[in-house]
Amino acid sequence: MSQVLFLIPLSVFMGLIGLCAFIWALRHDQFDDLEGNAWRIVTTQDPPDKEGVSNDELAAYADHENTGRRL
């Protein structure tokens, strides 16, 4: 019984903290641009420079002695 008297106020207090954090986020415009970050991932950019081209060419040949590592 004593655990219930401890856990109920603790859960109410934690719920109030979560509610206060949500209200703070609303007031500080944290939810203004919901799709902006998602579309930034999709945008095309220039691919990085290819440094390991010579190693990649070996995997493309079927006549290579280690054919199990082909792409």
DSSP annotation string for 3-52: HHHHHHHHHHHHHHHHHHHHHHHHHTTTTS-TTHHHHHHHS--PPPP---
Q: What is the pLDDT of residue 10?
A: 96
Residue 30 has pLDDT above 70, yes or no: yes
Residue type at position 54: S
pLDDT: which is higher, 51 or 15: 15
Residue 67 has pLDDT above 60, yes or no: no
Report helix, strand or coil for 13: helix
Q: What is the pLDDT of residue 43?
A: 67
Q: What percent of the chain has pLDDT over 70?
A: 59
Predicted confidence band at 22 (pLDDT cuts at 50, 70, 90)? very high
